[in-house]
Chain A
Amino acid sequence: MRTLAFALVLPLAACAGSAQKQDLANAGKARSLLAEASLIAEMAPRTSATYTAQMRSAALEELAALAATSRRAGGPDGQAIAALATVPASADAASLRGRAAHARAIEQRLEAGLEGS
C-alpha cells in the first residue's frame, strides 16, 4: 500500500514541479516582453513611428500568445501571468514597467520555491 501511495504521489509531485517550472518560464518571458514593450514606448520619440508601431505590435502579439499558453498550462500562477500578459492597446511605458515588475515578483517567488524544493 505504501509503495502504491508513493507511486501515485511521485508523478503528482513531478507534475506539480513541472507546472511550476512552466510558470517560472512564462513569468520570465512575460517580464522580458513587458520590459521590452516599455523600452519601445520610451524610445518612441527617438525612433521612427513605423518601427515603434511594428515593434510594439510584435511585443503585444507575443504577450497575447504567452497569455494563452499560461492559461493552458494550468500552473498555480498561470492566471496571474496571463492577466499581466494581457495588455490593453493603450498601455503606456509606466504601466508596462509596472506589469514587468509584477511579473518579476512572481518569477522571484517561483525561483525561491523551486530552489527550496
Chain B
Amino acid sequence: MKAAELTLGILTAVGGFVDVSELVFVSQAGSQFGYSLIWVIAISTVGIIVFGEMSGRVAAIAKQPIFSLMRHRLGLRWGLVTLAASLLSNTITCAAEIGGVALLLHLFTGLPTAAFAVVVTLIFFASIWMLPFKWIERSYGLLGLFMLVFGAALISIDPPWHAIAAGFVPQVPPALSLNERIVYAYFAVAIVSAIMFPYETYFYSSGGIEEEWGEKDLSTNRVTAIVGMSLGSLLAISILCIAAQLFGPRGISPELLGTVALGPATPYGMAGLLLASLGMLFALSGAAIETCLANAYSVSQFFGWKWGRHRPPGEAPRFTLCWIAVFLIALLIVLTGVEPLTLAEYAVVSSILVLPLSYLPLLLLAGDRKYMRRHANGPVAKILGWGYYALIVVAAVAALPLYFLTGGGTS
C-alpha cells in the first residue's frame, strides 16, 4: 500500500512538474541556445527539491503553513509585501494557464478561445468544489503524464547525446556575442524562476497539512520530492532538447504555444500531436488549479482564517471566496485577450522577485530546533538551502534589468 502511495505521489509530481512558463521558456531557450542551458534546469531542479522537501518537512513536523511563518518571521509589513507580490504573480500565472488550456482547445476545434476560457474555468471550479484534495492533485498530475511523449519523441529523433551530456556542465557558450550573452543570462534567470515558482511550495506544504502529514511521512516526502521532481525535470530537458534539435536549426523560437506540440508530431505524426497536446492540456490545468489554491492558502494562512479543502466550502467561507475570486480575476485577464505566452513572461519575472522573500522564512524555520526538533536542517540541507538562497537573490536582482535590456528575451 505504501509503495503504491509512493509511486502515485512520484507520478503526480512528474506529471505536475511542467507548466506554461516552463513550456515557453525551455522551448525558446533550446531553440536559441541549443543544449547549453540544460545545466540551469538541472541546478534549478536541485533547488526546488531542496525547498520542496524543506516545506514538506516543516508541514509534517512544525505543522506550519508557509504564509503563517512569513507573517511571524518577516513581520507584518514585509509579510504583506510578499503576500501582495505573490498574489499578483500567482494570479497572472493562473491566467496564463487558463489561457493556455483555452488556446489548445481552440486549436483542435476552431471554437472561440474566450468561450473555452469560461468553460475550463467552470470545470476547474467544479473540480475544486467537488473533489477531495488528494484527487484534485492526483487526477491532473497523473493525466499530465501524457507529457512523457516528449521524452519518447526525443529518443525517436536520436539527438546528439554527447552534446546533451555536455549541456549539463555549467557554461556560457564562447561563440556568443555580447548581446546574445545578455539574452542567454535572461533565459537562465527565467528558467530558474519558472522551475522554482514559489506557488509550488505553497501548494505542496499546504497539501501536506491538508493530508495531516506527520513524522511517519518524512521519508515519503523526501522520496517524492527527490525522485518526482528529478523525473519531472527530465521532461523539461526533453522539451528543451526537442526544441534545440527541431526548431533551432529552422530559426524557430516558438512564439505560438501550439508549436511546442509539433515537436512530438515530427516523429509520431497525429498521435504525437494529440498526446503532446493532451499532456500540455492537463499539465496546464493542474497548474491553474494549484496557483489558484496557492493564493487562497496564502491569504487565509496569512490572516489566520480557517482554510483547507478537507473542510466543506461553507466551513471555510473566506478561503472558498478567495479561490473563487482568483479564478474570476484570472478569467477576466484572459478575456482581455492578452496572449498566454505574454502572461507567462510577466509571471516568471514577477515570481523571481518574490522568491527571496518566500523562501527566507521557510529556511529559517526549517533550521530552528525549537520547532523542528531533531528534524531541523542538517549541515547538507543548510549548505544547500543557503547556497540556493544566495542564487535566487542574485537571480532576483538581475531579473528586471535583464528583462528590460533584452525586451523580454527578444533582442
B179 near A111 with CB under 8 A, answer yes
Interface of A is mostly: helix
Residues of A near B265 (CB, < 8 A) are 43, 46-47
Nearest opposing residue in chain B for A46, CB measure = B269
- Of the candidates A32, A47, A55, the one whose C-beta lies within 8 Å of that of B252 is A32
B99 at the interface (CB under 8 A from A): no
Instruction: Let me know if A67 is at the binding interface, CB within 8 A.
Output: no
A40 within 8 A of B: yes
Q: Contact between B270 and A25 (Cβ–Cβ < 8 Å)?
A: no
Q: How far is the CA of A28 from the CA of B258 in the complex (A)?
A: 19
A55 and B256 in contact (CB under 8 A), knowing A46-B270, A111-B177?
yes
B109's closest neighbor in chain A, by CB?
A50
Contact with A36, one of B179, B255, B269 (Cβ below 8 angstroms): B255
Within 8 A of B (CB), among A69-117: 100-101, 104, 111, 114-115
A47 touching B270, Cβ below 8 Å: yes
The interface size of chain A toward B, counting residues with CB under 8 Å, comes to: 31
A-B contact count (CB 8 A): 85
Within 8 A of B (CB), among A31-72: 31-33, 35-36, 38-40, 43, 46-48, 50-51, 53-55, 58-59, 62
**A14-35: which have CB < 8 Å to B?**
21, 24-25, 28-29, 31-33, 35
Give the distance in Å from the alpha carbon of A101 to the alpha carbon of B410 in the complex. Answer: 18
Residues of B within 8 A of A55 (CB): 107, 256, 258-259
Bound-state CA distance A73–B178 (Å) is: 24
In the complex, the answer to whether B255 meets A33 with C-beta atoms within 8 Å is: yes
Q: Give the chain B neighbours of A111 by CB distance below 8 A.
A: 177, 179
Q: How far is the CB of A113 from chain B (nearest CB, A)?
A: 11
CA distance in complex: A38, B269 (Å): 17
Residues of chain B within 8 A of A115, CB atoms compared: 177-179
Q: How many angstroms from the CA of A47 to the CA of B269 in the assembled complex?
A: 6
Among residues 166 to 191 in chain B, which have CB atoms less than 8 Å away from a CB atom of chain A? 177-179
The complex places the Cα of A33 from the Cα of B341 at a distance, in Å, of 14
Residue numbers in A under 8 Å from B110 (CB-CB)? 50, 53-54
How far apart sit A18 and B106, CA to CA, in the bound complex (Å)? 37
Residues in A with CB closer than 8 Å to B253 are: 28, 32
B336 on the A face (CB < 8 A)? no
Which residues in B have some Cβ–Cβ distance to A below 8 Å? Answer: 106-110, 177-179, 247, 250-256, 258-259, 262, 265-266, 269-270, 273, 407, 410-411
Would you list 10 pairs from A and B whose C-beta atoms are within 8 A, ordered by A residue?
Answer: A28-B253, A36-B254, A43-B265, A46-B273, A48-B108, A51-B107, A54-B108, A55-B256, A104-B251, A114-B179
